[in-house]
Amino acid sequence: MNYSIEINPLETLQSNCLIVGVYNNQQLSESAQALDKQINGLLTTIMARGDIAGKINDTLLLNVIPDSAIERILLVGLGEQKPLSAKNYRKALAAAINAVKKSRLTSVAVSLTDCDVEKADLTWKTRQIVEVFSDALYQFTACKSKSEDSATLETVVITAKTHEAEAASTGLVQGLAIAEGMTLTKQLADLPANICTPTYLAQQALTLAGAYDALEATILEVADMEQLGMGSLLAVARGSRQPAKLITLEYHGGDKNSKPIVLIGKGLTFDSGGISLKPGAGMDEMKYDMCGGAAVLGTLQAAAQLRLPLNIVGLVPASENMPDGQANKPGDILTSMSGKTIEVLNTDAEGRLILCDTLTYAQRFNPEVVIDLATLTGAVLVALGRVPSGLLGNDDALCNDLITAGETANDSVWRLPLWEEYQEQLKSNFADLANIGGKDAGTITAACFLANFAENFRWAHLDIAGTAWRTGSAKGATGRPVPLLTQYLLNRAYAGR
Ligand code: BES
Ligand code: MN
Ligand code: ZN
């Protein structure tokens, strides 16, 4: 897809379809008014007839424009004539692109940057157009033998006024970086576990490092991890025929001496539960247990594309969790890289076992902050559903920065408490820690487990089990939390903190 900014008025553009907004009081947006004059009041006539109410989600395609070189016009409802909420703006954009998808258009010109959106500037609006369109146009076709009747759209032109051109270009650049980071994340996540193995993920990191000068990848093999004493991570991998990998993808964009932001993503390429086997229904979705790792790769790609003036380290512990004669057993006691011992009371609580050694490993990068993202608990779905990601952490400033970034990026998080009282639930009679904390507060006790390995730095944990993919008939990866993390990085790079 080719996205570009155009400063000439909409009605003068060559395109298969001009997209304009209309309000529910029959008022036309600014660009729609100019266009209406050009076509002798056709839009006013149509509005007066009531053919489109102008509500959010309404669209109307005019595919013949009499006495005009304009091929088509798509009217898009904007609701009440007042600044739109960010969510309604995105809904209107989604309705527009979904209407376009139903047609065979190859080019569209969008003027929806001309309506007011609460707390939003032109950069943000442009960025949302790219993100929402790209999200709607994503298709996973890698494993289909015949190419389906796929989308025809090739060109999206976004209009801006001359004095807005720079702000719009910034939005375009950011939107593309985020959208492409999300696409990479979705593609990796949607791949089945027999293709997307730990080795495959490691190769993807090497490919990314080959594509961007500022990225560098290093892969730790099982033997390297044995040397480092990663007894917890390696125990999870023992039941699998696929060798575990610990992927490091470093982005060098900041001063040599500036401390890096470390992002850790759970890269469990298939979670069967291990000896504590999961029930069969829906187990296919456990191919998505590597979404955290995929989002780390997607975010680093976005950072590299944006040439952010920061240093960032991505760490992805990658493994399968399978039952086998060598596998972890309930009751086994592991020694982690930190020296802390762990009693495995449930082999299905494996995410924390691979993350704890990675947290310990992160310390050698002398991090400014560490953020981990993991499809860690089913319990986060009970607590928060599929709307925000769960957020827990040991540093209020870091958590607040993530909350703010999530609001801007429309990729929200909700903080849960990480109080010491919950540590009680992780007591073991036989080891320093148990790997499960009982049936209460599962998301919190999982984070409490991790907190024991994040004592020496500012750390936040995102539980993305409810947000990384959709279930049901629209099953597929979402690319979250790439927008949140990229926004956080943009804020760090350009807004002081
Ligand atoms: N990857 C799962 C978490 C998960 C489960 C994500 C369902 C999305 C949907 C994780 O490894 C896991 O199995 N967690 C267990 C922990 C329990 C054994 C304490 C869970 O949530 O059931
Ligand atoms: Mn599990
Ligand atoms: Zn898991």
* 175 within a domain of the structure (yes/no): no
Q: What is the C-alpha to C-alpha distance for residues 393 and 302, in angstroms, rounded to an integer? A: 24
Q: What is the CATH number of the domain that holds 241?
A: 3.40.630.10
Q: What is the C-alpha to C-alpha distance for residues 320 and 335, in angstroms, rounded to an integer? A: 19
Ligand 1 neighbourhood includes 320 CB (under 6 angstroms): no
pLDDT (tens digit per residue) in 52-84: 999 999 999 999 999 999 999 999 999 999 999
Flag whether pLDDT at 484 surpasses 60: yes
Ligand 1 neighbourhood includes 289 CB (under 6 angstroms): yes
The total domain count for the chain is 2
Residue 441, sorted as left (phi over 0), alpha (psi -120 to 50) or beta, turns out to be: left
**DSSP of 79-105, one letter per residue?**
-SSSPBPHHHHHHHHHHHHHHHHTTT-
Ligand nearest to the CA of 346: 1
Residues 333 and 434 in one domain: yes
| Residue 96 identity (one-letter amino acid) | A
* Nearest ligand 1 atom, CA 377: 21
Q: What is the CATH number of the domain that holds 152?
A: 3.40.220.10
* Residue 279: cis peptide before it, omega within 30 degrees of 0: no
Flag whether pLDDT at 148 surpasses 70: yes
* 62 within a domain of the structure (yes/no): yes
pLDDT (tens digit per residue) in 107-118: 999 999 999 999
**How many residues comprise the chain?**
497
Output DSSP code: residue 194. Answer: T
pLDDT (tens digit per residue) in 355-400: 999 999 999 999 999 999 999 999 999 999 999 999 999 999 999 9
Confidence category of residue 495, pLDDT binned at 50, 70, 90: confident
3-state secondary structure of 276: coil
Residues 155 and 215 in one domain: no
Residues 215 and 100 in one domain: no
Extended beta strands in 100-162, E state:
107-110, 155-159
The secondary structure element, H or E, covering residue 382 is helix 379-384
Residue with CA nearest ligand 1 atom 16: 349
Tell how far the Cα of 402 is from the centroid of ligand 3, in angstroms: 23
Tell how far the Cα of 272 is from the centroid of ligand 3, in angstroms: 8
> Number of helices and strands (H, E) in the chain?
14, 20
* 166 within a domain of the structure (yes/no): no
Radius of gyration of the chain (CA): 24
* 173 within a domain of the structure (yes/no): no
Ligand 1 neighbourhood includes 390 CB (under 6 angstroms): no
* 174 within a domain of the structure (yes/no): no
Residues of the chain with pLDDT > 70, as a percent, come to 99
Confidence category of residue 151, pLDDT binned at 50, 70, 90: confident
Tell how far the Cα of 270 is from the centroid of ligand 2, in angstroms: 9
Tokens linked to 136: 């709607």
Ligand 1 neighbourhood includes 271 CB (under 6 angstroms): yes
* 148 within a domain of the structure (yes/no): yes
Which residue among the candidates 266, 352, 480, 492 is catalytic per the annotation?
352
Phi, psi of 113 (to 5 degrees): -75, -10
Q: What angle do CA 288, 292, 294 make, to 5 degrees?
A: 80
Q: Residue 27 burial by CB count (10 A; 0-12/13-18/19+): exposed, middle or buried?
A: middle
* Nearest ligand 1 atom, CA 442: 19
Q: What is the C-alpha to C-alpha distance for residues 351 and 435, in angstroms, rounded to an integer? A: 10
Q: What is the C-alpha to C-alpha distance for residues 3 and 132, in angstroms, rounded to an integer? A: 13
Residues 102 and 208 in one domain: no
Which of 278, 285, 377 to mutate for ligand 1's pocket (most ligand atoms within 8 Å of CB)? Answer: 377
Residues 382 and 468 in one domain: yes
Tokens linked to 341: 């011992």
Residues 64 and 186 in one domain: no
pLDDT (tens digit per residue) in 155-171: 999 999 999 999 999 99
Across residues 113-141, what is the average pLDDT? 97
* Cβ-based neighbour number of residue 149 at 10 Å: 7
Residues 437 and 291 in one domain: yes
* Nearest ligand 1 atom, CA 266: 1
Q: What is the C-alpha to C-alpha distance for residues 113 and 110, in angstroms, rounded to an integer? A: 8
Ligand nearest to the CA of 268: 3
Flag whether pLDDT at 310 surpasses 60: yes
Which of 232, 345, 348 to mutate for ligand 1's pocket (most ligand atoms within 8 Å of CB)? Answer: 348
pLDDT (tens digit per residue) in 16-39: 999 999 999 999 999 999 999 999
* Nearest ligand 1 atom, CA 278: 13
Residues 363 and 474 in one domain: yes
Residues 386 and 336 in one domain: yes
Residues 355 and 226 in one domain: yes
Tell me which residue range forms the domain holding 54: 2-161
Whether residue 278 lies in the annotated active site: yes
Q: What is the C-alpha to C-alpha distance for residues 348 and 114, in angstroms, rounded to an integer? A: 51
Whether residue 352 lies in the annotated active site: yes
pLDDT (tens digit per residue) in 411-442: 999 999 999 999 999 999 999 999 999 999 99
* 399 within a domain of the structure (yes/no): yes
What residues does the ion ligand 2 have nearby, CB within 5 Å? 271, 348, 350
Residue 171 half-sphere exposure toward CB, CA atoms < 13 A:
25
Tokens linked to 185: 């994340």
Q: What is the C-alpha to C-alpha distance for residues 50 and 35, in angstroms, rounded to an integer? A: 19
Which residue among the candidates 55, 161, 259, 278 is catalytic per the annotation?
278
Residues 230 and 344 in one domain: yes
Q: Which residue, among 213, 208, 296, has the nearest Cα to 486 in the 3D structure?
A: 296
Tell how far the Cα of 227 is from the centroid of ligand 2, in angstroms: 26
* 172 within a domain of the structure (yes/no): no
Residues 406 and 294 in one domain: yes
Across residues 233-246, what is the average pLDDT? 98
- Mean pLDDT, the chain, rounded, equals 97
pLDDT at 496 (0 to 100): 60
